[in-house]
A = this chain, B = another copy of it.
Amino acid sequence: MALKAGVSTMTVSRALHDNGNVTEETKERVLAAVRELGYSRNENARSLRPGHSSNLIGVTVTDISNPYYGEFVIGVEEVLAQHGKRVILGNTSESQEREEQLLADFAGRQVDGAIVVPAAGTEHTHLRSMADRGMRVVLASRSIDGLDVSSVVLADFQGAYDATVELIRSGHERIGFVGWAEGIYTAVKRYAGFAQAMSDHGIPVEERYVIDRVQGVEEVEKTIQGLFEQPKSPTAFFSANNRHHMGVFRAALQRRHELPDNFAMVSFDDFELSSLSPFPVIIVSHDPREMGRTAAEMLLESGREEQRVLPVHIRRSVRRV
């Protein structure tokens, strides 16, 4: 490359920066050679130099096929791109082991920081130790109590509480909760909000109405179908996220004509075509892209650890068909 233009590598380096003292003519010659050879600076070598950073940010999410996380990643990228930074993406599929591998790899690639939607589980020492080694870490969507790391989460408890109160006000007492899971922050908080609302209204939570440990949409659907076949099945359901809601929704559709007239549902997370629902749906909606933006901004700010809470909005689906 330097040969091509007949100059030293240093001159090439200077020609590619705007500040260097280079004759207009030499610069032209270098840039011409650059174009001809399709040369581009080796960023890895650059980042090796002291003072330079890789301008890479590692991002892990638990399920990139969930459009919420897609929106989240767009928000992250939007902000980071404005600062000349790139995203390395990893999908953990809720596996802590994979999360740990990914973060170790990020560290090896000298990322400036990491934005992590923590995978399900209760062992979070690797996150703490990453932060200790100077990697800036921001948790998103799910925080970890007792871990001194910045995070941005939703008003999970309040949103769940308010939505549950709405169900109760509509006269429901037998309310199912789908999606409790130990080790998943949002599941725990949302369940807590639900349980608090029930308790505040003197309604006991029946254990058999609380569904956990089910993952895919199909699995939820089958589980709820099973529940419907039992006597005194719930007259309403609270789903802790959009995936669970879809399972409940499909099970309810199957049974549509045997369900009580006032059958209703809560979906934490909005979903497309909610207006087609034959049952009233109380939707706890929020803006995942904004969460991505916030997480990225928090990562770029060099301040102290902090926790931010984004608002949720409760609305009722309006049937349009």
State the A residues within 8 Å of B (CB).
38, 40-45, 47-48, 54, 56, 64-67, 69-71, 73-74, 77, 86-91, 104-105, 107-110, 129-130, 132-133, 246, 249-250, 253-254, 256, 271-273, 275-278, 289, 320-321
A-B contact pairs, 28 of them (CB 8 A): A38-B129, A40-B107, A40-B108, A42-B108, A43-B105, A43-B108, A43-B110, A44-B48, A44-B54, A44-B109, A44-B110, A45-B48, A56-B109, A64-B64, A65-B71, A67-B67, A77-B91, A86-B88, A86-B90, A86-B109, A87-B88, A246-B272, A249-B273, A250-B275, A253-B320, A256-B321, A276-B277, A276-B278
In the bound complex, what is the Cα–Cα distance between A133 and B69 (angstroms)? 34
Q: How far is the CB of A67 from chain B (nearest CB, A)?
A: 5
CA distance A67 to B70 in the complex (A): 7
Closest to A88 in B: B88
Residue in chain B with minimal CB distance to A54:
B44
Q: In the complex, what's the smallest C-beta–C-beta distance from A4 to chain B, in angstroms?
A: 14
In the assembled complex, which residues on chain B have CB atoms less than 8 Å from the CB atom of A66? 67, 70
**5 tightest A-B CB contacts, nearest first:** A44-B44, A65-B70, A89-B89, A43-B108, A38-B133
A253 and B275 within 8 A (CB) = yes
Q: How many copies make up the complex?
A: 2
- Evaluate contact between B73 and A89: CB separation under 8 angstroms: yes
Q: Report whether A253 and B276 are in contact in the complex, using a CB–CB cutoff of 8 Å.
A: yes
**For residue A44, which residues in chain B have a CB less than 8 angstroms away from its CB?**
44-45, 47-48, 54, 109-110
Q: Which residue of B lies closest to A320 (CB)?
A: B253
- B87 to A90, Cβ gap below 8 A? yes
Using CB atoms, name the residue of chain B closest to A45.
B48
Q: Which residues of B contact A73 (CB under 8 A)?
A: 64, 89, 91
What's the least CB distance linking A240 to chain B, in Å?
Answer: 18
Q: Is the CB of B110 within 8 A of A42?
A: yes
Q: A38-B132, A43-B110 are in contact. List 7 more A-B contacts (CB 8 A).
A: A38-B130, A74-B91, A77-B90, A253-B320, A272-B273, A273-B273, A273-B276
Q: Which residue of B has the minimal Cβ distance to A37?
A: B133
Closest to A132 in B: B38
CA distance A48 to B44 in the complex (A): 7
* A87–B86 touching, CB < 8 Å: no
Q: Closest approach, in angstroms, between the C-beta of A5 and any C-beta of chain B?
A: 17
Most buried by B among A38, A104, A254: A38
